[in-house]
Each structure stands twice: as structure tokens, then as C-alpha cells.
Structure 1
Amino acid sequence: MNRADYWIRNLIEAGQSHLDINHVVADIGRSVGADVSILFLGSSPKLSLGHVFHAGIEQPLLEYYERHSQSDVYLRHYSQQNLQGTIVPLQTMLPLNKITDEWFRDEMLRTIAVKHSLSGYCRLNKSDVQVLTFHRYSSPFKPECQLQLQQLMDALVPWSQYYLSKQQLMNKFGTIPLQHGSLQLPDTLTPAERQVIQLLSRGYDGSEITQFRGVSKETTKSQIKSILHKLECKHQNHLLHKVYTELVT
């Protein structure tokens, strides 16, 4: 089994777990010697319209890039050169002395501070793309790393399509109901709220549910509050007691 197939198998085993997928992305990054590793699935170039799995980058810096992703000159140049589906070293593709956008060169590149990048994206459907981007702060990537990541880019497409399709179905219909006791979930629960109950029952806390579902902390708090109200529970422990003693399909 080559490295790409090994990583795909690990992603399949991770299921929809944001945390577990982050671990796989971190493993990929370690294998190619990356300081920062990012896998993005969704509408490009706006990161807020998709799922971001990452390792080696602090949340404030990730949010900074999210705010300014539409100003990414590398991404624009990559698209114009019809390189979709190809992993390329960004700094070789577009040398610094050929970047005419002063804000991008002097502000964005200085803030992000990486020196060497292997990146690429390919289209998954009419609206979504798969982006792989790995960065180093000092020495360049070894030549074989580009080949490994290209193999991964090619092999990753079916998994990415599957992940997004399943996530869309879960968001629309929720997860399979739990089977315990005699409590009927009210019809007033939304599919998202049913999914939150499923995750709570499996031991996830609020922050883990937030990462798993790719939503804000405020959204998760609001959904849990709504669930407690609809199931007439005083707190989360009361909810879990009902789940484990009374819940049926």
C-alpha cells in the first residue's frame, strides 16, 4: 500500500469526525516535513463556506487567511495558468519579484510568513473544490514530497466527494436515531439538533461538537439550549439521563 492509499484509508476510518481528520492531516504533514498542513473542502476561495482541516497553524492566523482568502494572488495566478489538479511549489510558480500586488506581497505574505509551499486544488463539482496546501518556514520541500502530494491529490477526490455528500445529508436529515427506552423525540427538533443529541450521547462535549460539525461555538450553544427546552430538560446531564433511559426511535 502506497502512502496515498494509507492516508485515504485513515480518512475513511475517521468518518465525519473533524478532530480525527485533523489528526490524519497532521500525519500527512509530518510525512512530507510540513510546518503547516491544510485540507479544505468547499466553495473556493472563501474558507468560511467549507470545511477546513489543519495542523500546525494557530486559529487567529487561519482566521486571518479566511478573511483575506479572496486576495490570495497565488490562488488567482494558479487558476489563470490552468493548473487545477496539480500540486505546485507556489514560490516557483510565481516568484516574489513578479508579484505586483503590494498589499499581498508586503502585508499578507509577511503576516503568514511561510517561505515554501506545495499547494493545489481540483474541482469536485460545480460549486466545491478540494484544496491541499502544505508550508515550510525555512528550507524547501524535498522533490519526492511533491510527488507524494500529487498522488494524494489524485486519490483524494472520491473521499472528498463522499465526505461532502454525507455531510449535506446529515445536515438535512440528521443522524440515525438512538435506540433506548421509551422517549419519542419531538418533531419540533431540527435535523441539526438531532445530530447534536447523537454526538452528546457518544460523549462529545460542546467544543468537540463545534469542531465536528464545522459551526461556531454560538451555534452549538444555541442548539443545545433549544434541545433542552424542547425536551423539557434542566441541563445537559438531565438530557443525557433521558437519552440513556427513555429514548427510542
Structure 2
Amino acid sequence: MALANIWVRKLIEAAQSPSDINSVLAEICHAIGADIGVLFIGPSPKFGLGHTFHFGIDDKLLDFYHRHSDNDAYLKHYSTHHFQGKMVPLQSMLPIKRIEDEWFRDVMLPTLSVKYSISGYSFISRHEVQALTFHRYSTPFAPSSQIQLQQFMDELIPWSQFYLSTQKLIDQFGTTPLHHGSIQLPDDLTPAERQVIQLLSKGYDGSEITQFRGVSKETTKSQIKSILHKLDCKHQNHLLHKLYTELVI
């Protein structure tokens, strides 16, 4: 079985779990020798408003890129030269001496500090894309890596469509109803709060819940605070104790 098919199968098994999807991304990076791997699915062209999964890059640097993605000269060149649907080596596509944007060349690239990249995006609906980017710090990618990543991008489209559709249904209707024992869940819990409880009971922390649900950190904090009040818990550890000792999922 081709590696691309194996990777997609593992993503299917990962379901909606950000940590499991990140683990699959880490496996892909190890297979092709990438130091950094990022998968984005969501609305185009403003990256950062959808769902981002990553390996080898910290949240601070990822946030820096999201805030300045409009200044990405590689992305602009890729989009205007109709490369959509293709995984391409960025530094060959647009050599640094041809980059006219001084801020991108002198500030953004040194901040990101990668030397070799294979990236691309493809449309999965009229207004949504899947974007893949893999980077190395020192040596170029092997030619076979571009072929493997192209196969992966092509095979990934149905999974990306399924992930976004599932997430939209979860956002609208919540997750599978909770079956509870001695703990009595109040009727005034919102569908979003029930989803947060479901995720907390499965061991997700606040940052993972934020990423999973595609909301802000402030929204997650507010929902947990509301849950604590409604379940008469003094703090989050008190809530977790109730979930692990009294709740039957």
C-alpha cells in the first residue's frame, strides 16, 4: 500500500482528535525527513481561520505566520501562477533574489528560519482549501518526497471534506449525548458546554479543546467557567474529579 494511503487511513482513525492528527503529521515528517509539518483545512484565502495541525513548530511561531500570512510572497506567487493542487519546492519556484517584498525577505524568512520547503494547497470546496507545508532547516528534500506528498495531497481531499463537515455538525448539534450516572447534568447546559464536558472527560486540556472546536482561548475559558458554576464545582480539578468518578460515558 502506498504511503499516502496509509497516512490517510491513520487520519481517518484519528477522527476529530487534534493530538492524534498531529501524531500522524509527525509520522509523515519522519518518513520524508521534514523538521516541520503543517496541515491546514478551512476557508480560503485567509489561513488561520480554520483548523491547523502541526509538528515541529511551536504555537508562538505558528501564530506569527498566521498573523502575517498576507505578506507571504511564496503564497502570493503560488496563487497567481496557478500552482493550485500541486506540491512544489518553494525556493525553486521563487528564488530569494527574485523576492521584491523586503519585509518578507529580511524579516519574515529569517524569523521562520527554514531553508527548504515543499508546499501547496488545493480546493476542497468552493471556498475551502487544504494546505500542506513541510520544511527542512539544512538540506534539501529528496526528489521522492515531492512525489509522495503530491500523492498525499490528492488522496487527502475526501478526508478534509469529511473532517470539516463533521466539525460543522458537532458545532451545530454537539457531540454524542452523555450517559450519566450519579452526576446530574443541569438542563441549562448549552450544546457547546456539553461538548466541552465530553472532551474534558476524555482527557483533553483547555488548549486542545480550543483547537478541536476552532474557537478562541477566551471562549473555552468562559465555557469552562460557566460549566463550573452550573455543576457547582469550585475549580477545574473538582470538575475533573466528578467526571472521572461519577460520570459514565
Counterpart check, 1:21 vs 2:10: no
1:46-93 per-residue CA deviation (whole Å, 9 max, x = no partner) reads 333011111111222111101100111111111111111100111111
Tell me what 2:75 maps to.
75
1:141-188 per-residue CA deviation (whole Å, 9 max, x = no partner) reads 110000000000000000000001111111111111111226664443
Q: Which amino acid aligns with 2:105?
A: R
* Inter-partner Cα distance in structure 2 for 1:221 and 1:109: 34
Q: CA deviation at 1:94?
A: 1.0
Correspondences of 1:155-170 after superposition (within 5 Å): 155-170=155-170
Counterpart check, 1:189 vs 2:161: no
* Inter-partner Cα distance in structure 1 for 2:201 and 2:157: 32
Deviates more, 1:161-170 or 1:182-191: 182-191
Correspondences of 1:101-112 after superposition (within 5 Å): 101-112=101-112
1:24-60 per-residue CA deviation (whole Å, 9 max, x = no partner) reads 1111111111111100111234333011111111222
Q: Which amino acid aligns with 2:82?
A: N
Correspondences of 1:58-73 after superposition (within 5 Å): 58-73=58-73
Tell me what 1:128 maps to.
128
Q: 1:55 to 1:248 in 2, by over 3 A?
A: closer
Unmatched runs of 5 consecutive residues or more in structure 2: none
1:103-156 per-residue CA deviation (whole Å, 9 max, x = no partner) reads 111111121121111001001112211000001111111100000000000000
Tell me what 1:115 maps to.
115
Deviates more, 1:200-209 or 1:28-37: 200-209
CA contact (8 A) 2:51 2:211 kept: no
TM-score with structure 1 setting the length: 0.92
CA contact (8 A) 1:180 1:245 kept: no
CA contact (8 A) 1:170 1:191 kept: no
Q: 1:149 to 1:197 in 2, by over 3 A?
A: same
Q: CA deviation at 1:233?
A: 3.3
Tell me what 1:150 maps to.
150
TM-score with structure 2 setting the length: 0.92
Q: CA deviation at 1:238?
A: 4.8
Q: CA deviation at 1:100?
A: 1.2
* Inter-partner Cα distance in structure 2 for 1:28 and 1:107: 29
CA contact (8 A) 1:181 1:244 kept: no
CA contact (8 A) 1:72 1:104 kept: yes
Unmatched runs of 5 consecutive residues or more in structure 1: none
* Inter-partner Cα distance in structure 1 for 2:56 and 2:240: 35
Q: 1:248 to 1:106 in 2, by over 3 A?
A: closer
Q: CA deviation at 1:203?
A: 2.6
Q: CA deviation at 1:246?
A: 7.0
SS of 1:106's partner is helix
RMSD: 2.1
**Identity between Structure 1 and Structure 2 (%):** 67
Tell me what 2:218 maps to.
218
* Inter-partner Cα distance in structure 1 for 2:238 and 2:94: 58
Q: CA deviation at 1:202?
A: 1.9
Tell me what 1:8 maps to.
8
Tell me what 1:177 maps to.
177
CA contact (8 A) 1:25 1:38 kept: yes
